[in-house]
Structure 1
Amino acid sequence: MQHFFVTPDQVKPPYIYIKGSDVNHMKNVLRMREGEELVVSDGNNQKYLCVVEHFKADEAVVSIRDELPLDTELSSRVYLFQGLPKGDKMELIIQKAVELGVYEVIPVETKRTVVKLDAKKAEKKVSRWNEIAKSAAKQSGRGIVPQVTRVMRYAEAAEYAKELDVVLVPYELAEGMDCTRKIIEGICPGQSVGIFIGPEGGFEKAEVQAAADKGARVITLGRRILRTETAGLTTLSILMYHLES
C-alpha cells in the first residue's frame, strides 16, 4: 500500500489534503484512482488508513477511514553526526540510517574531511539529502521524516550534542569490547543518543579527546576498521537491537 507524508495542518478530519509533488506522483506515476486505499502519516507520529476521494489540479483529497497503530519509532531519539564522506556515500548513509530508526542526521565537517562545500553547494546537498530521508521514511513505514540538518563544523556539532543524554564516539584505536558492551547496555529507553562518525581517515586524536573531555563515551566496534559508511550504520543497528529487545 502506498505511503505518503503530510504536515499536521493538512489533516482536517474527516479529510486529509495532500499537496505538492506527491499529487503528480499519485496521479501520473502511480496512476491512483478514486476509491484506492493508501496510508498517510502526519510527520508527527500519527498514521491513517485513507481512501482517495478526488483530485484537484494541485491537491489530492483523501478521506480518513481509520487511525493505525504506530510502533515503528525507537524508544530513544538517536542523532547521527556523520563526518562528510566523499562521492555519493552520504546518500546511502542517510537512506539506511532512516531505515534503522535515526531521528536526525547532522553532516559534520571535521579536520580530515576531504569534501569542502560552499554555502550554495551545501544548501543544494542538504535539500537532496532531505528528499532521500523522506523517501526512505515512506519505504520503511516511519511515523516521522527524520531531518537532515545543515552542515556543521566539528566544534559546532559538539556544542549541538551537549544536551544529549549519551554521546558515543566509535574510534578505531579504542579497545575493550566488554566496556563498550556495558555502555550500550546502560542506555535506557527514552534517553537521547548521539553517534559521532568520522569521515574517511577517521577522527584526529585531538577531536576524540575533546569529545571525551565533554563526557562522550569512546567505544570500539570490534577488531576490524570499518569504513565511514559502515561505522554509523553498525552502531545504529546495535542500538536498534538493544532498544527494541
Structure 2
Amino acid sequence: MAATVFYLDQVPEPGGIAVLDGPEGRHAATVRRIRVGEPITLSDGAGVLAPSEVIATQKDRLELRVLERAVAPPFAPSVTIVQALPKSDRSELAVELMTEAGADVIVPWQAARCVANWEGKARKGVDKWRAAARSAARQSRRAYIPEVTDLYRTSGVLDLVRKVKADRGIVAALHESGESRFTALPVAEASRVVLIVGPEGGLDDAELSALTDAGAEAVLLGPTVLRTSTAAAVALGALGALTPRW
C-alpha cells in the first residue's frame, strides 16, 4: 500500500529535511499519530511526490528525511467540472466525490435554480470547497490538488464554454433531455473536457439554451436521474474508462 500523502508548499530534494507543521502537521502527529520511522509521501499538490521517512515528532509537527522526489504526470485529458451549488448539507460531499474521482478544476456555479445562494458569502463557500478538495486529495493520495475557482455566474460559465470550444475542447452539459449519450463523446482525443452539472431542480430552460448556443452539447449520462452531488463523480468514472486517465 502506498504511504499516506501530506502536502507541503516546498518539498526538499532527496536527502533534505522537511518540516510538516500547521494543520497538516497537526493532522499527521495528533490525528493520525504517525511515529518515527513511518513512511510518508510528501507532495506540493502540484505534481511532486516525495517518499519520506519520519525522523522526529512533536505534538503538532513532524520532521522527515526526503528519500526520493519525482513529478507525477497530470491526468489527460484535463477535466473541469462546472458544479451548480448543491444544498448545503451535500455541498462539500460533491467536492469530495469529484476530487476522489479525478477532477482537475472545480467551478462553483450560482445557477438559476440553485437552492443554495452564496450571495454575500461567496468567499466563505469557496474556502470551504478548497478545504474539502485538499482533504479529499490527501485521502485519495493525489499528487495534484484540484483548483477550486471563485464563484461563477452564468455569464462566466458561458464565457468558459466559448473559450474551451475555441480551443477545440469538449463541453458537455449533463441533462436528461440530451439526445446524445455520454459514451458517444469523442473524449479520447480531447486535450480538455468541461462537464456542466446542473442543480437539484435541473437546468433552467433558458440556461440550457444559452449553454448549447455557446457550444456545449447536452448529453445523457445514464438511464437514471442522479443527484447533483453525485453526477460529477459518476461522469468522471465513465470518463476514466473512456480515456487514458485510467
Aligned to 1:234: 234
- When residues 158 and 17 of structure 1 are mapped into structure 2, their CA distance, relative to the original with a 3 A threshold, is farther
1:219 alignment partner AA: V
1:168 alignment partner AA: A
- When residues 37 and 213 of structure 1 are mapped into structure 2, their CA distance, relative to the original with a 3 A threshold, is same
Aligned to 1:144: 144
Report how far residue 190 of structure 1 moved: 5.8
Instruction: Check whether the contact 2:20–2:63 (CA below 8 A) recurs between aligned residues.
Output: yes
* Inter-partner Cα distance in structure 2 for 1:60 and 1:100: 29
Q: Helix, strand or coil for the counterpart of 1:88?
A: helix
Instruction: Please give the per-residue CA displacement for 1:120-179, whole angstroms capped at 9, x wherever unaligned.
Output: x322222122111111111111111112222211111221343321111111112243xx
Deviates more, 1:12-21 or 1:201-210: 12-21
* Inter-partner Cα distance in structure 2 for 1:239 and 1:83: 20
Instruction: Give the number of aligned pairs.
Output: 238
Aligned to 2:158: 158
Aligned to 2:23: 21
Aligned to 1:170: 174
Report how far residue 38 of structure 1 moved: 0.9
Q: Helix, strand or coil for the counterpart of 1:239?
A: helix
Aligned to 1:109: 110
Q: Helix, strand or coil for the counterpart of 1:141?
A: coil
Aligned to 2:78: 77
Instruction: Please give the per-residue CA displacement for 1:51-79, whole angstroms capped at 9, x wherever unaligned.
Output: 123357875331111236846x5212111
Q: Helix, strand or coil for the counterpart of 1:142?
A: coil
Instruction: Check whether the contact 2:13–2:66 (CA below 8 A) recurs between aligned residues.
Output: no
Aligned to 2:194: 194
Instruction: Check whether the contact 2:13–2:69 (CA below 8 A) recurs between aligned residues.
Output: no
Instruction: Please give the per-residue CA displacement for 1:183-210, whole angstroms capped at 9, x wherever unaligned.
Output: 2xx1235611111111011111221121
1:15 alignment partner AA: I
Gaps of 5+ in 1: none
Instruction: Check whether the contact 2:38–2:53 (CA below 8 A) recurs between aligned residues.
Output: yes
- When residues 56 and 107 of structure 1 are mapped into structure 2, their CA distance, relative to the original with a 3 A threshold, is same
* Inter-partner Cα distance in structure 1 for 2:219 and 2:45: 33
* Inter-partner Cα distance in structure 1 for 2:183 and 2:25: 47
| TM-score normalised by length of structure 1 | 0.87
* Inter-partner Cα distance in structure 2 for 1:123 and 1:175: 37
Instruction: Check whether the contact 2:161–2:214 (CA below 8 A) recurs between aligned residues.
Output: no
Gaps of 5+ in 2: none
2:50 alignment partner AA: Y
2:170 alignment partner AA: V
* Inter-partner Cα distance in structure 2 for 1:158 and 1:17: 43
Instruction: Check whether the contact 1:47–1:67 (CA below 8 A) recurs between aligned residues.
Output: yes
- When residues 161 and 53 of structure 1 are mapped into structure 2, their CA distance, relative to the original with a 3 A threshold, is farther
